[in-house]
Amino acid sequence: MSESKDFLRTIVEEDLRSGKYKEVITRFPPEPNGFPHIGHAKSIFINFGIARDYNGHCNLRMDDTNPTTEDTKYVEALKDAVQWLGFDWGDDVYFTSDYFPKIYDYAIELIKMGKAYVDSTNEEEMRQLRGTVTESGKRSKYADRSIEENLDLFERMKNGEFKDGEHVLRAKIDMSAANMKMRDPLLYRIRHSHHFRAGDKWSIYPMYDFAHCLSDYIEGVSHSICTLEFENNRDIYNWVLDTLGLELPRPYQHEFARLGINYTVMSKRKLLELVEGGQVNGWDDPRMPTIAGYRRRGYTPEAILNFCDQIGIAKANSMVDVAQLEFCIRDDLNTKVPRVMCVLDPLKVTIENYEGTEELEASYYPHDVPKEGSRKMPFSKEIYIERDDFKENPPKDYFRLTPEQPVRLKHGFIISCKEVVKDASGNIIEIKAEYYPESKSGSDSSGIDVKSAIHWVSASHAKTVEVRLYDRLFKDEAPEGVEDINPDSLQVIKNALIEPAVISQKPDERFQFERQGYFYADPIDYTDTTPVFNKIVGLKDSWTKKTKASESALKSASKPQAKKVQVDGEVVAMTEAEQTLFNKYTARSISIEIANTLARDEKLSHFYEEALVHFDNPATDSNKIYAPASLANIVANEIARELKEKQLDELKFTPRQVVELAKMVDGMIISNKIAKEVFEEMVKSGESPKKIVDTKGLMQISSIDKIQPIVDEIIAKNPDNVAKFKAGNTKLLGFFVGQVLKATGGKANPTVVNHLVAERLK
C-alpha cells in the first residue's frame, strides 16, 4: 500500500478513534450474475485491504436477490478471484438469500408501522406518477390501503398467488423528495423463478436497496463501501435503518469512484453479450477484462494489486489509461521471468562454413536482474531467425542483418549474409551465411563491429509451439460494444519455433521471449505434445507514440533508489532534485508515467508546483477534497504541448485557472471532452474556465435525478424499439443513449446515461 492515506482510511481511523466502532468489518457484495472484472479487483483491494490494515474482517457476500440472472458458476468465479488476489474471507461465504426470512420480517414491520404498502399500479403509470426533477410525484391511490389489507396482500405475494408485476411492495416516504429515489421506492417485487440456492421457496425477492442495508446490519458491517453510482441510494439505506430503529452500532455507506479504463468495457451485461455472441471464447478469454481473463493471459496478482494501489481511491470518477495496467505487469515480470528465444516468423539461415553442433552457455537473466540460472543453447549449421531481422533493401537506421551488414546471434557468433535465396515468386526463403569463429559471445576477438543482436533457434533442435498473440479487445478508446471490437485482437501462430530448454526443462511458466514480449504457458490448453503460449504484454506500449521516456525508463524511475531513466536510447541519471519531485508525486498517487514527465521537465514541474499552492489551499474550496492526480494529468498533457514552443510567461492562462479546470472535471461539472474544448479557449483568450463554461453553456449534466426523467421519456416514446431490444436487438442501446444525449444538447454525462438506459431496459 502507498504511504499516502486515502479518504476512506481517514474515515475509518476517525471512527475507531471516536469509539464509534470497536472493530472494522467491511464487505465485498457482488451479484453472482457474471465473472468479476478488473473493476471488482479494485473493490476487493479496497474492502479487503482496509479490513486487513485495521485488523478487521471483510465478508464475501453474494447479493443473490435476482434469481433470473444468477448461477453457482459465478459464485465460484467470485470466490476464485478473491483467493487468487491473495485475500481471505474466513470460514464462510455469506449470501443475501440466507437472510430472506429476516428481511421479510423487516418488511412486515414497515407495513405495520404504516411505512410500506402494496402497490398494484402498472409500471407505466408508476413511472408517470413519479414526477420529474421539477415536478413532485403523486402517490398511488393504493397507498391508502389499510395495514391489514397490505399484510394480507404481501403474504399472498409471498405465497405465489399473483403474477409477476401484478403487485410490488413500496416504502412510503416522500413523493416530493428532491432525490427521486426517495419517492416511495420499491422494496419487493414478484419473481416466479427458481433460485439457485433457495429453490422455489420464494415468489418475492427484495430489491437491492432494501436487502443491501439490512444484510450489512445483520452481518455487523461497520463501513459499507460502494461505488459512486450508489450515492443517491444512501438516503434509502439510512431511511430503512432509521425507520426500523435498529440498534447501534449500525453501518454507514461511503462511496468511492468506480474504475474506468480506456479501450475496455466494464459492463457485465456487455461482457455477457460478448460471451454469448461468440466474439470471445468464454469469460476467461485472455482478451476479456475479467480477473479470470487476466489470470489466463498470464497477469500476476501482484501486478493487479499494484495497479489498484497506483490509481488510488478518489471521490470523483475518471478514466485510467490501460497502459498503466500494462506497465504494472511489465514492471512485475521484469525482475521475475527468464529470457528465452522464440522465433514467430521463421526464416532459414544456412551457415555454410560451420559443421557439426555445439552448446552455447546462455543465462536466463540479464545482469541487472538479481537472479541466477542458465541453460545450454544448441547451435548448428542450420538455424532460424525472425523474418523481420533480415532486409535486402534496409531502411535508414536498420541495424539487423542485411547483405552488407553483419549481426550478432544472441549468446552466439557474428554472422554475415553471403547469398539470398528466393522462390519463383521472388519471396526470400533462405539466407546463406558465414560465421566468424573468433566472434563467440564472451570471448569475442574478431574486432568486427555490429550494432545489434538478434534471437534465433537451431533448426534441428527447436520445438514447435503454438503462440497466441493477444492485443486489446477494442480498437476504440471509449468502446460501446461489439461494433468497436478490434479485428486484430487475436493472432494465432501454429508453427513458432522455441529453444528446447523451455519445453524440456520448464524453468518457469512465464517468460520473456527476447525482443517479442512476455508470454505465459496457457494453463488449460498447454500439453507436453502441443505447447501453447499466450502473449501477456509487449515489451513496450505499441499503442502510444512516446518521444521521451520508454517503459524501461519508468521501471527504473519507479524505484526511489534507482536514478536512471531511458531517454532517446541513452541512460540519463536523475538529478537529486528530480528524484525528490518524482518521489513526492508518486506518493500523491500520481501515475509513474505522469510523475516522471513532471519531475524531469523544469517548466512543467514549476507550473505544477505553483498550481498545487492553489489546489491544496483549503480557502479555495473548503467543502471538497480533490486528488492532485487530475491536475497532474492536465499539466503533463495539455500544458506540456503549450510549453513545447512557449515559455511560462507567454501563457495567457494561469496555474490557478488550470486548477479550476481540474476541479470542474473532478466534480463532474464538465466532461474530459468538454475540458479539452475549454482549455483550447483558455489558450486563446486567457478567460477563466468557469466563465467559458457559463458563456458557452457547456456544463455537463451528471445528476441521476435530472437525467432519469429524460431517459424515461425517451423509452416511453419508443415502445417498438424497446420491444426489439428486449427481443434481442441489443444494438438499440446506442439508439436510446443517442436520443437522450440529443435531448440534452449533448450535455448529459454519457457514462450516467449508459448506466440509466441499460438499467431501465433490463
pLDDT tens digits for range 235-248: 999 999 999 999 98
CB contact at 8 A, 429 and 423: yes
CB contact at 8 A, 661 and 676: no
The arithmetic mean of pLDDT across residues 257-278, rounded, is 93
pLDDT at 627: 52
The arithmetic mean of pLDDT across residues 444-471, rounded, is 96
Cell numbers placing 697: 453553456
CB contact at 8 A, 48 and 87: yes
Give the range among 115-124, 134-143, 420-429, 715-724 with minimum mean pLDDT.
715-724
CA distances from 400 to 362, 366, 458 (A): 21, 21, 19
The arithmetic mean of pLDDT across residues 297-325, rounded, is 91
Secondary structure of residue 500 in the 3-state scheme: helix
CA distances from 125 to 28, 195, 716, 736 (A): 36, 29, 11, 21
Residue 615 has pLDDT above 90, yes or no: no
Q: Which domain holds residue 724?
A: 704-760
Instruction: Answer yes or no: do 94 and 213 share one domain.
Output: yes
The arithmetic mean of pLDDT across residues 719-732, rounded, is 78
Cell numbers placing 461: 533442435
Q: Is 361 annotated in the active site? A: no
Instruction: Answer yes or no: do 128 and 162 share one domain.
Output: yes
Most confident of 444-448, 601-605, 732-736: 444-448
In a domain, 747, yes or no: yes
CB contact at 8 A, 1 and 49: yes
Give the range among 75-89, 429-443, 730-744 with minimum mean pLDDT.
730-744
Rg (CA), the chain: 30
CB contact at 8 A, 89 and 82: yes
In a domain, 592, yes or no: no
pLDDT at 755: 81
Helices (H), 545-703: 551-557, 576-587, 592-600, 602-615, 628-634, 640-643, 655-666, 672-685, 689-696
In a domain, 152, yes or no: yes
Strand partners, 349: 383, 431
Residue whose C-alpha cell is 469509539? 19
Instruction: Answer yes or no: do 10 and 92 share one domain.
Output: yes
CA distances from 590 to 507, 605, 633, 710 (A): 36, 13, 8, 37
Residues 6+ apart with CB under 8 A from 579: 560, 563, 599
CB contact at 8 A, 416 and 409: no
Task: Indicate the helix (H) or strand (E) that contains 495.
Answer: strand 490-498
Helices (H), 317-384: 322-334
pLDDT at 628: 66
Q: Is 742 annotated in the active site? A: no
Catalytic residue among 13, 31, 229, 480: 31
Residues 6+ apart with CB under 8 A from 750: 478, 671, 737, 741
Look at strands 374-380 and 357-363 and give their pairing. Answer: antiparallel
- Decide which of 258, 293, 326 is a domain's last residue: 258
Task: Indicate the helix (H) or strand (E) that contains 185.
Answer: none
Task: Indicate the helix (H) or strand (E) that contains 497.
Answer: strand 490-498
Q: Give the C-alpha separation, 307 to 289, whole Å.
A: 14
Instruction: Answer yes or no: do 406 and 487 share one domain.
Output: no
In a domain, 105, yes or no: yes
The arithmetic mean of pLDDT across residues 51-62, rounded, is 97
Catalytic residue among 27, 189, 268, 375: 268
Catalytic residue among 27, 42, 158, 258: 258
Cell numbers placing 459: 533448426
CA distances from 640 to 360, 582, 595, 606, 651 (A): 49, 17, 13, 12, 12
In a domain, 619, yes or no: no
Look at strands 346-351 and 382-386 and give their pairing. Answer: antiparallel
**Looking at the chain, how many residues does it have?**
762
Instruction: Answer yes or no: do 433 and 476 share one domain.
Output: no
In a domain, 534, yes or no: yes
Q: Give the C-alpha separation, 6 to 4, whole Å.
A: 7
Q: Is 268 annotated in the active site? A: yes
- Output the furthest CA–CA distance in the chain (Å, rounded): 102
pLDDT at 731: 62
CA distances from 259 to 43, 194, 248, 296, 614 (A): 9, 33, 32, 21, 27
Cell numbers placing 203: 415468489
Confidence of residue 757 (pLDDT cuts 50, 70, 90): confident
CB contact at 8 A, 589 and 627: yes
pLDDT at 541: 58
CA distances from 550 to 3, 476, 558 (A): 26, 24, 13
The CATH number covering residue 142 comes to 3.40.50.620
Give the range among 30-39, 406-415, 730-739 with minimum mean pLDDT.
730-739
Q: Give the C-alpha separation, 286 to 472, whole Å.
A: 10
Instruction: Answer yes or no: do 200 and 184 share one domain.
Output: yes
pLDDT at 331: 92
Look at strands 428-435 and 414-422 and give their pairing. Answer: antiparallel
- Decide which of 237, 258, 279 is a domain's last residue: 258
The arithmetic mean of pLDDT across residues 590-595, rounded, is 73
HSE-up of residue 241 (Cα within 13 Å, Cβ side): 24
Residue 288 has pLDDT above 50, yes or no: yes
- Decide which of 462, 489, 521 is a domain's last residue: 462
The arithmetic mean of pLDDT across residues 119-133, rounded, is 93
Q: Give the C-alpha separation, 462 to 432, whole Å.
A: 19
pLDDT, one tens digit per residue, over 350-367 is 999 999 999 999 999 998
In a domain, 616, yes or no: no
Q: Give the C-alpha separation, 537 to 47, whole Å.
A: 28
Instruction: Answer yes or no: do 221 and 323 share one domain.
Output: no
Range 440-451 burial, b when 16+ CB lie within 10 A, else e:
bbeeeeeeeebe
CB contact at 8 A, 739 and 710: no
The CATH number covering residue 417 comes to 2.40.240.10
The arithmetic mean of pLDDT across residues 675-695, rounded, is 88
The CATH number covering residue 471 comes to 1.10.1160.10
Please enumerate, as own/partner, the contacts of 150-155 that have beta carbons within 8 Å and a separation of 24 or more.
Answer: 150/111, 150/116, 150/117, 150/118, 151/108, 151/111, 151/112, 153/118, 154/107, 154/108, 154/111, 154/118, 154/188
**Chain-centre distance of CA 33, in angstroms?**
19
The arithmetic mean of pLDDT across residues 752-762, rounded, is 83
Question: Regarding predicted confidence, which is higher, 697 or 145?
Answer: 145
Secondary structure of residue 551 in the 3-state scheme: helix
Residue 548 has pLDDT above 70, yes or no: no
Detail the DSSP E strand segments found in 25-102. Answer: 25-28, 57-62, 94-95
Question: Regarding predicted confidence, which is higher, 758 or 517?
Answer: 517
Range 218-238 burial, b when 16+ CB lie within 10 A, else e:
bbebbbbbbbbbbebbbbbbe
- DSSP state, 271? H
Instruction: Answer yes or no: do 422 and 519 share one domain.
Output: no
pLDDT at 248: 87
Instruction: Answer yes or no: do 163 and 76 share one domain.
Output: yes
- DSSP state, 513? E
Q: How many domains does the chain have?
A: 4
CA distances from 280 to 133, 151, 290, 734 (A): 41, 49, 12, 21
Instruction: Answer yes or no: do 84 and 185 share one domain.
Output: yes
Question: Regarding predicted confidence, which is higher, 230 or 746?
Answer: 230
The CATH number covering residue 748 comes to 1.10.10.410
Query: For a pLDDT cut of 70, what percent of the chain falls above it?
Result: 92
**Chain-centre distance of CA 592, in angstroms?**
17
Instruction: Answer yes or no: do 437 and 518 share one domain.
Output: no
Residue whose C-alpha cell is 453457482? 72
In a domain, 68, yes or no: yes
pLDDT at 746: 67
Cell numbers placing 585: 508525486
pLDDT at 502: 97
Q: Give the C-alpha separation, 746 to 753, whole Å.
A: 11
Instruction: Answer yes or no: do 107 and 239 share one domain.
Output: yes
Task: Indicate the helix (H) or strand (E) that contains 302.
Answer: helix 301-311
Residue 51 has pLDDT above 90, yes or no: yes
Residue 223 has pLDDT above 90, yes or no: yes
